[in-house]
Structure 1
Amino acid sequence: MPAHPRDVLSTAQAGAVALPVCDHYSGVESRMRKSLQLQAEMTAEVGTCVFDVTLDCEDGAPVGGEAAHARLVTELALAAAPEARVGVRVHPVDHPAFEADMAQIAGQAGHRLRHIMIPKVESVDDVAHAERTLLRHFAPGLPLHALIESPAAVHRAFDIAAHPRVQSLSFGLMDFVSAHAGAIPADGMGIEGQFKHPLVLRAKLEIASAAHASGKVPSHGVVTEFNDTAALRRAAQRAARELGYTRMWSIHPNQIRPIVEAFAPDERQIDQASAILLAAAQADWAPINHGGVLHDRASYRLFWQVLQRAHATGRTLPAPAAAWF
């Protein structure tokens, strides 16, 4: 029997981390509950979990009500189904509520979480601070996600991504634009401007490159125009196809399916990847000629990643290739 692709094509770097392609944020109690319910429903429908739910303390907690909100988030995480994928965004490391967030949420619900998002990360020192705080309250290997939101943080993105505890880098568009003291106009936050302004585009590319350099997941930030589904789909496609992102934030339930669809391989890509990998397996993973094009393990690795993404987004695979999953 030919060797399994994951045994032949694994690398220490490329594709080292696999996460759902959509990360859905909610911070209001009713919306957090609905998000968890929607995750369960879509998992049953598709057969796999296609998005994470990140419960939000930073933007979700009312001023003065941070402790109560952290308790609510803890209760929701503990009450979620065992198979649910739940993360939490805590306050920044320099916020007065950070330590209490970590003690409450990681200390009591860390075993039910998939990640903790640390916002406004400025340097690897912030990650180290967050890790030390995490370990004081919850010892096992819970990943940290880092939100890059300033020009200085973009400059240090490679160092941040290289930290062993970091699993994913996200781009905080709105804070990044605001950090430029008006030098980037407001439309740099918009659905078109964020893909055109050179400083914003450069930041997105830098973050994606930094994440891939360390085998981490680059996660594209928000699109605030949540009622324009067609525009959201175009933005997600650009993030996935042009900028190298493998994950994207959702801030409204209507954004989840378009993001999943945009990041999923299409039928042509799935068929091509399946045909090439099946032929490669029959050749014991030696180089092959497929349709007049040479393929070897470098291209096999890419096509295996296509099939992994297809499976993770609930796409139907041809029967022979489906047996690999």
Structure 2
Amino acid sequence: MHDIAQSRLHTLSRPKSIPFCEHYAGAPRYVAKALSHQTIATYPFDVTIDLEDGAPIGQERAHLEEVVAVLSEHPDNGRRVGVRIHSLDSRFCDYELEWLIRHCGSRLSYLTVPKVTCADQVKALVSTIQRLCRSYRLPAPLPVHVLLENRQAIRNIWSIAAVEGLETLDLGLVDLVAEYAGAIPVSAIEYPLQFEHGIICQAKTELATAAHYYGLTPAHSVTLELTREGALRDARLARERFGFTRMYSIHPQQIDGIVQAMSPDPNDVAQACSVLELAEKAQWGPIGWQGKLYDAASYRYYLSILDNARHAGQPIPQQFGHFIQQESI
């Protein structure tokens, strides 16, 4: 982008572009299936191997070794894979961190840690991961995804979000509702109440706001309805009402719906192209288009639309590729 655009548009601070959907798989056969699906999919999505809920009780170490073997045997498809480890107070946590980084650190894109409570805890975790990555000569430390699913974490969202080394803030709604010991009805973990209940809405608003402020990606909790339609509906509400830009999938049928809901509408992409084309001709000064005024703030918005569309695998006209080549605009 030329100098005029740089001076007019300033630096746009936004989260690193990562896939809109994070698909969880626990049992080795489901991990293998997810990796195969990821390879042939026409759009990107992350696969997260689940050690916390995916492991049979009493077989946690065997499960770890089995799923790592599946990952090692599967051809590298060039797409992102992460692992959710046990919580920091679990006796398996340190063992899993060392094992994963030593045996398959180069294949991993992130590590997800559940049930965090405060910033000091997260800082210590990030420091441990960075030390292990140096010890095993990884080119860069693995980013950390923190799963916020208790009242302490929600209270400490802003200090947690400020910790260096994080990539996402993830909402764990089912565990959060359970923490209220019946004060919040169980129906609040599903549509429509999870988008209407006051305490839940406040938690979602705080999480998404803090994530965007610190340049992280806010990731929404699961949809228990194992259908494409249910996932699409909930993902769209999560994005439009609360600003979430990523969501968990727990069934292959949900992936496509989540990606579609989180991706820009094709009409918005077409409008972005029209506005930016006129803006460039006007040397990034204010313009009028279809009876409305557009300026630098509008251009930053439409640049993010194009960037999100590209990231979702949507076609972008070749002449607009130079708009979205940079991480920050």
Name stretches of at least 5 consecutive residues in structure 2 with no aligned partner. Answer: 135-139
Shift of residue 143 of structure 1? 0.3
Give per-residue Cα distances to partners, 1:131-189, cap 9 Å, x unaligned: 13213321232100000001221111111111111110010010000000110011011
Mapped to 1, the partners of 2:7 and 2:236 lie a distance apart of 30
Contact 2:19 2:44 in 1 (8 A): yes
- TM-score scaled by structure 2? 0.91
Mapped to 1, the partners of 2:70 and 2:6 lie a distance apart of 35
SS of residue in 2 equivalent to 1:242: helix
SS of residue in 2 equivalent to 1:169: strand
Amino acid at match of 1:64: G
The equivalent residue for 2:221 is 221
* 1:1-325 matches, cutoff 5 A: 2=2, 9=9, 11=11, 13=13, 15-42=14-41, 46=42, 49-80=43-74, 81-139=76-134, 140-227=140-227, 229-322=228-321, 324=323
SS of residue in 2 equivalent to 1:138: helix
Give per-residue Cα distances to partners, 1:94-151, cap 9 Å, x unaligned: 1000000001012221121111001001111221221132133212321000000012
Give per-residue Cα distances to partners, 1:12-65, cap 9 Å, x unaligned: 63x2311100000110111110000000000xxx2xx52100001001111121
SS of residue in 1 equivalent to 2:70: helix
Shift of residue 319 of structure 1? 4.2
Identity %: 36
Amino acid at match of 2:217: V
Name stretches of at least 5 consecutive residues in structure 1 with no aligned partner. Answer: none
Q: 1:61 to 1:201 in 2, by over 3 A?
A: same
Structural RMSD (CA): 2.0
Shift of residue 232 of structure 1? 2.2
Shift of residue 201 of structure 1? 1.2
Mapped to 2, the partners of 1:72 and 1:129 lie a distance apart of 28
Q: 1:290 to 1:156 in 2, by over 3 A?
A: same
SS of residue in 1 equivalent to 2:242: coil
Contact 2:4 2:283 in 1 (8 A): no
SS of residue in 1 equivalent to 2:129: helix
SS of residue in 1 equivalent to 2:18: coil
Shift of residue 238 of structure 1? 0.5
SS of residue in 1 equivalent to 2:35: helix
Contact 1:169 1:219 in 2 (8 A): yes
- TM-score scaled by structure 1? 0.92
Give per-residue Cα distances to partners, 1:58-96, cap 9 Å, x unaligned: 011111211112222323333441512100000011100
Shift of residue 202 of structure 1? 1.0
SS of residue in 2 equivalent to 1:219: strand
